[in-house]
Amino acid sequence: MDGDVLVSDTNFYQVKQNTPIFFEARIGNGQVGGTALRLNGSSIPVNPTGPTKIGQDGQDLRRSVLQSITTVKDISKTTNNTSVEHTLSGGLSTEVFPYAIKVKKDKGIARYFITYVLS
């Protein structure tokens, strides 16, 4: 669609054996957006105001694939910048994956389609 932009990336995140992890998305620049998650092809309800638990207690997440898409709509009159920070915690370390892109025109949409390979 006109004005829309896409960020696509793949990252690796080291998990602890038989331990769930947590995912959180922060949308910046005063823009509005929503995130959806799928773990190994199954949808996960996302907590829009805080971390979302990925996996169950005792579940081994190694060799799993977590798909995330954060769809951001430009609502700002003052900037066309959009940004997203994905934070993964509960694994060997807490890692932040920052992304930013500018939509091509006002009210455009930015999609951040990020794949996390859990290892």
Chain contacts with another protein (rule: CB under 8 A): 1, 4, 6, 8-10, 26-38, 40-41, 43, 46, 48, 63-65, 67, 69-73, 75, 77-81, 83, 85, 98, 100, 102, 107, 109, 111, 113, 115, 117
CB of 105 to another protein, least distance (A): 12
- Any idea what DSSP says for residue 55? S
Adjacent-strand bridge partners of 5: 110
Which residue lies nearer to another protein by CB, 20 or 44? 44
CB of 17 to another protein, least distance (A): 16
HEC sequence for 22-53: EEEEEECCCCEEEEEEEECCEEECCCCCCCEE
Which residue lies nearer to another protein by CB, 6 or 92? 6
CB of 102 to another protein, least distance (A): 8
CB of 106 to another protein, least distance (A): 9
Q: Which residue has the tokens 């954060």?
A: 70
Which residue lies nearer to another protein by CB, 90 or 116? 116
Three-state DSSP class for residue 109: strand
> What Å distances lie between residue 116 and 23, 36, 94, 110, CA to CA?
11, 13, 14, 19
Three-state DSSP class for residue 4: coil
Which residue lies nearer to another protein by CB, 81 or 89? 81
Alpha-carbon span 97 to 75, nearest angstrom? 23
